[in-house]
Amino acid sequence: MDKPKIIEHKGIIKKIDNDRILVSIITNTSCASCEVKGSCSASELEEKEVEISGFTENYHIGEQVFVYFKESLGFKALFLGYLLPFIVLMIVLISATALGYSEAIAGLLALASLVPYYFIIYLLNKKIKKAFSFSIRKINTNELLNNAKFTV
């Protein structure tokens, strides 16, 4: 049986509450594959904060950690956030056009159909949050040494 694939990012712990940890992740969106990324000052660095609950180890503020989740959860999030609303929009648009509504009315109905969709997503927020939870793990010293860049 294959081991589930995970998506993992290095981050720094910003805040710790009783049952939650807030981790800051710096992402470099388009520069990873660029040939001149080392000499470019306009790299697109973006800071994201991830909230993690249900951890078992002791952590402290400023500690570097790995934040991860299963790759399959990424596909589910993509489906709920982009694909399913697109399908709803297209079904309403095609149905309204087939029922004889003008293109403008059909387009407005299609856009209006997304309001209840996202309202339902909002109502299911807690359930979705549980399903799409992140996990955290400490960085061991070997990983720190392998990723360290030494300058002379």
34 or 82: whose pLDDT is higher?
Answer: 82
Buried b (16+ CB within 10 A) or exposed e, 95-126: ebbeeeeeeeebbebbeebeeebeeeeeeeee
Query: Is 45 in a helix, a strand, or coil?
Result: strand
Query: Model confidence over 92-101: pLDDT tens digits?
Result: 999 999 999 9
Q: How confident is the model over 37-55, as a mean pLDDT? A: 67
| Residue-level pLDDT at 151 | 47
Query: Model confidence over 27-45: pLDDT tens digits?
Result: 765 555 565 555 555 555 6
Strand 6-16 with 45-53, pairing: unpaired
- The residue ranges of every structural domain in the chain are 6-147
pTM metric for this prediction: 0.59
